[in-house]
Structures are given as C-alpha cells and as structure tokens.
A and B are shown apart, each in its own frame.
Chain A
C-alpha cells in the first residue's frame, strides 16, 4: 500500500504540482487549500505524512501544527514554506515538525525526507 501524503497549501498551483510530482514517486497524495478543510476531511488517527505551508489565510501553518500536537495525533509534519529559511526552520523544529524545506523544493530532497520519516 502506497504511503499517504497530505498537502496543505493555499496556492492551488503548488498543491497540484506537488501532487503530480509525488505521484511519480508512487505516493498517494491528497491536497487541501486550507487547514480547515484538511481537518474536516482527514481524521487525526489516519496514517500519513503532512506537507504543510506556513503562510496561509485563516489558520496558518503554526496553528495547524499546534492543533495536531494538541490532539495527540502522531502525524509527522514537514513544513514547506516560502518564508526565509533563517526565520522559520528553527521554529519549525522547535514546535515538533520533522523538517522544514524552503520553497521551491527539490523533489528528491523532499522524497528522501518523507521516506526517512515514514520509516521511523
């Protein structure tokens, strides 16, 4: 069974492109344009790695990650953001994310990180 990946990004184009790319690596990818719609559609206990944008209208990436942690879910979260690396990467790891990748993301780097996370 292919590994499940959830992508939450308010940019439609980014969602779509990541889905196309990750599908070529045989992942099962589901995309959401907002954190709200992700929580509505995906239960906390279903397995799968979350690729999470930070800067979003409504609930932003930080709040989303906090909510996942508070819910007791063990879902691995990888932040993928266009924010400056220095500002966000430390904070991402501090709040319990498994990784931070700055946009644009190299496909292979992302896949390697997903695979390491999934194995653990």
Chain B
C-alpha cells in the first residue's frame, strides 16, 4: 500500500517538481524580463529626467539672459569676490564688457566707488550669511550716473556652506528721478500754499488794523482842526501831530507788508481738470498711504477743458484733500476718500471731494469759509477761505454739505468750462 501510496506520490513528485521548476523558471523569467524592463524603464526615465533637467537649465539660462535686471554670481569661496557669471543686462547696465567683468572683483568694478562705506556694508551683510537690499548711486564705465537697486544673497550647498553670492541689480534711475520730481513739485506747491496763507493772513490782519487806524487818524485830524485856532494849547496841538505821525507810521508798516506779500497774478491756461486731480493726488500719495487712507476716483473722462491757474487750482485740491484726510484721521474705520468730476450742465464742471470722516458740526457750517476760522489746534484758518477766493476768481463756487449723518462731508466746487472749447 505503501508503494501504491508511494507510487503516485513518487510519480507525482517529479511532476510536482517539474511544475514547480517550470513555475520557478517562469517566475525567474518574468523577474528577468521585469529586470530587463525595469532597466529599460530606468534608462528611459533617466534619459527623460536628463532631458527635462537640461530643458530646465536651458530655460533658466535663457531667462537669466532675457531679463532686463542685471544678474551676477560671485564665487564666495575666494576672498576677492570674483564674478563668475554675469548676464547680458549686467553688461548693458554697467557698461563693462564680459572680459572686463568675469573673474574681476565685483567691488572693484566701481572704481573709486569701491571703498565707499556701502561696499563695506554689503561685504559685512554677506559675511553674516544675510541678504543685502539697497539703493545705491553707481557710475557706469563711461561715468554716467545711475541708481542701482541691488539685492545680493548667499547661495548655499547641501551642507549649508556658502558657495556663491547671487546678485540682481535693477536700474532705478527713472523711478528715482520721478520720485524726486514729485517731491520737488510737492514742495513747490506747499511753498506756494504757505506763502499764500501768509499773504492772506497779512492781508486780513492789515484790514483789521486799518479800521482802528482810520478812526484814530480821523479823530486826531479833527482834534487838530479844532485846536488850530486856539493858540493857548500848543502842547495839545503837538500831541495831535504826534498821534497823526504815529498813525501814519503804522499805516506805512502795513503798506510795506502788503507790498512784500503781494499776491501773484494768476496765469490762466487751458487745463484738463482730471489731469490736475491726478497730478495733485500723486503729490500727496505717500502721505495718503502713510495715513492708511484710500483715494477712489469717479472722473468723467469726457470733460471739456477749463481755463485756470494750474498752481492755484492745485492749491484748492490739495487743501480739500488734506482737510478730508484730517477729518478721517481720528477714526481708523473711515478710510475712503472719493474724488468725483462731472458735468453739471454744458458750461459747468463740478469737482467733489467726499470724505468718510466725522462730518461738520452744524454750528461750524456758516463760519467754515471765513478768515481765521479753524477747528484744528494748529490751524491758521486760512485754507478754506483762500480756496474759496481762488475758486471765485475762476468764476466758480466752493461749497460744502454733510453726507448722510455720520458719513463725513463733501466739499465741491464748480468751474466754468473754457469758452473757446468746441464743446
């Protein structure tokens, strides 16, 4: 039985073994095939990756060459800051050719400039492993000045060691010139405004003082005439003469003050009111932003030209905008300032400056435009009265109204369109 039992078993055994072997072989074959396939895949993958990486490098290189920023790389492991790469814009920007740049000390590129404290500052910042960011006045090879916005950062290897420095420099000259131009214009306007305020102040003061001086002079001259026939009062006559002389002396002081601060005659020219609004806002944009306020515009782009004095109208706009900013100063929630321009009728343009501040108390409404009226601790009370007289000299009106309760105030002025305009 054992045999019979064994037979099939024995018989079966090789069959089993064979199957197993075949199975095993098939497995191995499969595995080999797999290995071969994997190898092929890996090979393909490697090639793909390499291709991809090459493409990436190619694009990066192209990008570096195409950008208008000057890009350069310095070998950080050498002490003399040699430039190992610079893109074409770098050569354009500095005016130096490739051979004058590559391998040369970055800081020596700027000649006499090289020992400037700024170079030391850059070196120290980099030595601390930090990035440098700054605006520097540089000179091109031909001596031409330019403003360079420079950013330099350390490049680290996998271990964290600094191997290179990468720098980007941007020509900021135009931006810088524009900034200083705006600054100059702003200063000029503020100066004109200050002088205007002073002139108006003196003129008001002169007016107020002239009234009692008139009375004093008239009384004294009357007294002089009454005393003329009375020879018994020589001392009183002299007193009258002295009063008259001193009155005239005071009058002369006022006359000279008036002469000194004589108002400039306005120069009327055709103006686009929207351009004027934009120009004025540009001048105080930094101020507006620093106060965390936002200016919104709703300007009708089809407005006809007006005839006006640019500086004077800018003064008005500046005054209205500054007032609005001050009205919103107290409340951080009120941020929005809206400037609108539109045609009221065929002959009249309206400009509105709408704030979202505290509004104007009813009792102040009437006095708002009079001389010396101010609600500010350090105000002269001249701004709005000057603005109104400027607007009126242009044939318009300056008015104010409160918005819905608690929604601030709107100052608005009208100005006639230029009659010569075809519209």
A residues adjacent to B (C-beta < 8 A)? 11, 13-14, 16-18, 20-21, 23-25, 55, 80, 82-84, 86, 102-108
Contact = CB atoms under 8 A, between A and B. Distances in A.
Given A82-B207, A86-B262, A103 B214 contact: yes
B258 to A, nearest CB: 5
Interface of B: 203, 206-208, 210-219, 221-222, 225-226, 247-248, 251, 258, 262
B222 A103 contact: no
Contacts of A17: 214-219, 222
Q: Please indicate which of the listed interface residues B211, B218, B247, B248 has the most CB atoms of chain A within 10 Å of its own CB.
A: B218
Given A21-B221, A106-B221, 17 more contacts: A11-B215, A13-B212, A14-B211, A17-B216, A17-B218, A17-B219, A18-B214, A20-B218, A20-B219, A21-B225, A25-B225, A55-B207, A82-B210, A83-B207, A84-B206, A104-B214, A104-B218
A82 B214 contact: yes
5 contacts: A11-B214, A17-B222, A20-B218, A84-B206, A107-B217
Nearest to B226: A24
Contacts of B211: 11, 13-14, 82, 103
Contact of A105 (B203, B206, B214, B225): B214
A105 B258 contact: no
**Across chains A and B, which 9 residue pairs bring their CB atoms closest together, nearest first?**
A82-B210, A17-B218, A17-B215, A107-B221, A104-B214, A21-B222, A13-B215, A104-B217, A21-B218
Nearest to B218: A17
A55 to B, nearest CB: 7
A12 to B, nearest CB: 9
A17 B207 CA distance: 17
Contact of B251 (A13, A83, A86, A104): A104
A55 B211 CA distance: 11
Contacts of B203: 84
A17 to B, nearest CB: 4
Contacts of A11: 211, 214-215
Contacts of B215: 11, 13-14, 16-17
Contacts of A25: 225
B214 A84 contact: no
Contacts of A14: 211, 214-215, 218
Q: Please indicate which of the listed interface residues B211, B216, B248 has the most CB atoms of chain A within 10 Å of its own CB.
A: B211
Contacts of B251: 104
A82 B206 contact: yes
Contacts of A80: 214
B268 to A, nearest CB: 17
A86 B263 CA distance: 10
A111 to B, nearest CB: 10
Q: Please indicate which of the listed interface residues A11, A21, A102 has the most CB atoms of chain B within 10 Å of its own CB.
A: A21
A55 B208 CA distance: 11
Given A13-B212, A86-B262, A105 B218 contact: yes
Contacts of B262: 86
Contacts of A108: 221
A18 B222 CA distance: 9
Contacts of A18: 214, 218
A18 B38 CA distance: 119
Contacts of A104: 210, 213-214, 216-218, 247-248, 251
A115 B214 CA distance: 20
B221 A103 contact: no
A119 to B, nearest CB: 22
Contacts of B217: 17, 104-107
B218 A107 contact: yes
A17 B212 CA distance: 10
Nearest to B262: A86
A12 B262 CA distance: 29
A18 B217 CA distance: 9
Contacts of B225: 21, 24-25, 107
A24 B222 contact: yes
A13 B217 CA distance: 11
A16 B214 CA distance: 11
Q: Please indicate which of the listed interface residues B215, B219, B251 has the most CB atoms of chain A within 10 Å of its own CB.
A: B215
B203 to A, nearest CB: 6
Nearest to B261: A84
Nearest to B210: A82
B327 to A, nearest CB: 28
A103 B210 contact: yes
Contacts of A105: 214, 217-218
Nearest to A53: B211
Nearest to B247: A104
Nearest to A101: B214
A16 B217 CA distance: 12
B258 A84 contact: yes
Q: Please indicate which of the listed interface residues B208, B221, B225 has the most CB atoms of chain A within 10 Å of its own CB.
A: B221
Contacts of B218: 14, 17-18, 20-21, 104-105, 107
